[in-house]
Amino acid sequence: MNPSFKDLINTIKKSKTKINIADITKAYQFAEKAYHGQKRHSGDPFITHPLHVANTIASWGLDQESIQAALLHDVLEDTPVTHKELAQKFGSKVAFLVNGVTKTGQVKLRNSKDQVFVENLRKMFIAMAKDIRVVLIRLADRYHNMLTLTAVPLEKQKRIALETIEVYAPLAERLGMGKIKGELEDLAFPFVHPKQYKTISQLFKTQIKQTKKHTNQVISQLKKILKKNQLDLQIHGRFKNKYSLYHKLQRSDIDNNINNIHDLVAIRIITKNQLDCYTCLGHVHKTYKPVPYLGVSDFIAQPKPNGYQSIHTKVFDHHGGVVEVQIRSQDMHSQAELGAAAHYAYSQAKKYTKDSIALEKGTAFKSPKKTEWICQLARWQDQVADSKEFKTSLTLDTLSHRIYIFSPKGDVYDLPEGATPVDFAFAVHSDLGLHIQRAKVNQKLVSLSHPLKSGDVVEIEKTKKKRKPNRDWLQFVKSSQAKAKIRKAL
């Protein structure tokens, strides 16, 4: 259902952001006039699209300029309105955002135009490095387009869905926006892999009934216990996204067996503060025995590089099954769901920034390290001469699924899926990569080409002297960083 302008105003009022409703009304009226007479493929008036995008942006708690730009984001491309006219009426920042959204919208997955695809990707990341809001608006735009994809001509549907899975969903993941990432993947899944989607849907349907029943019993018991201990919290079940389930079934350790997946329905406990998270964990383990070999993942003490914080534990229910429990504070939950958008909204609320966000200064996030990969990609245009190589690196590294690997000291490293101990060594330090003798994963010796999994603890045994890497390493390393350092050393 498309939100009305009244719905948008109500969403804005619910947010904590200081916004001038008169200025939002001015942008809406300008957009409505500019789009007058235009219709979408669905037959709806075109204004319904920017309204939906603006409503999403407002629900993320973003600022006035972001909402105005969301309402106006298609005017430069689809109407006679000029950049100069936008700047005069709404200010240079709104005009800059609209122009940035227009440029990033040129990213298309068309195999016959690889050069164009790569150049536009570069523009996209350069725009990100200047202002994160550009990409947040583009993600909201893509979300609504995916909701209405069935109205688009058939010949375009798969291409749009494919670029959603290969570019936009991974982008949302890298920005820590778990909720929108999952929704984009599930909306694209039936268009990209229709047969697999039907199979997964049926598998999901048959498996979920029993799993849900047992999970609800655990939720009911935990509610009573935690309430008895006077803990103020929310507790509910969270179904795994279908595309995420499909992807996980492909893993060698899962071997297409859904019974090997323990987070089909996860229990999510949301507390008031960090201390309550650990108190809840104690009560969970006192009531249900933790699964020894799966252990506890404490992403509160060691957050993921994209800022994600939560405690994950797997416990035995009273029916012999395994249930995953995720425990996090309300602030951590907002971060997990909205990532970069939550950071921006938080910075606005606390007045951490006065102007637009410059990611290279790290003003949107508590730590600039969380945005280094964005700025690095923007700089890559000066380092990579071959567009094909850039696209390959991008697909294998930044826009791939990520895994999180621990050093023996507990430091977390963010690597592309399928990464090896060699990738890990070069991620720690180029010197370590040139001193590799042997590698241990979870205290067991493995080959240097051994594929790592999230949660693995990797230890590199060093040689005394630096030596040249083996050229064969280029055949199995996954990160562009490792490949570049190996080539340089050779």
Q: Measuring CA to CA, how many Å separate 164 from each of 109, 168, 233, 398?
A: 9, 5, 35, 15
pLDDT of residue 170: 83
Give the phi and the psi of residue 166 in degrees, each rounded to 5: -90, -20
Give me the pLDDT at residue 29, please.
Answer: 96
Which residues on neighbouring strands pair with residue 404, listed in sequence order?
Answer: 414
Question: Among residues 23, 77, 186, 331, which one is catalytic?
Answer: 77
Q: Which two structure tokens, joined as six digits, stand for 436?
A: 């590799």
* pLDDT at site 108: 66
Residue 39 is given by DSSP the state: B
Regions in the chain scoring below 70 on pLDDT: 106-129, 340, 342-392, 394-400
Is 155 a residue of the active site?
no
For residue 315, report the phi and psi dihedrals to the nearest 5 degrees: -130, 155
Give the number of other CB atoms < 10 A from CB of residue 426. Answer: 27
Task: Name the one residue in this structure whose structure tokens are 């992403």.
Answer: 299
107 phi and psi angles, rounded to 5 deg: -70, 115
According to DSSP, residue 295 is labeled: -
In the block, residue with structure tokens 């509160």: 300
Query: Strand 322-329 vs strand 265-271: parallel, antiparallel, or unpaired?
Result: parallel
Active site residue 77: yes
Q: Which of 23, 78, 324, 372 is catalytic?
A: 78
Which domains, from first to last, does the chain contain? 5-192 (1.10.3210.10), 194-336 (3.30.460.10), 401-489 (3.10.20.30)
The angle, 0 to 180 degrees and rounded to 10, between the axes of the packed helices 132-147 and 48-59 is 120
Contact between 147 and 83 under an 8 Å Cβ cutoff? The reply is no
Q: What is the pLDDT of residue 352?
A: 39
Only one residue has tokens 């923007």, namely 378
Residues 103-127 have pLDDT tens digits of 877 666 655 455 666 666 666 666 6
Q: Determine the Cα–Cα distance for residues 286 and 224; give it in Å rounded to an integer.
A: 14
CA dist 239 → 38, 186, 258, 335, 341 (Å): 38, 12, 14, 19, 23
What pLDDT score does 367 carry? 44
This prediction has a pTM of 0.80
pLDDT confidence of residue 340: 67
Q: What is the pLDDT of residue 114?
A: 57
Q: Both tokens of residue 51?
A: 């309204």
Structure tokens at 295: 């252990």
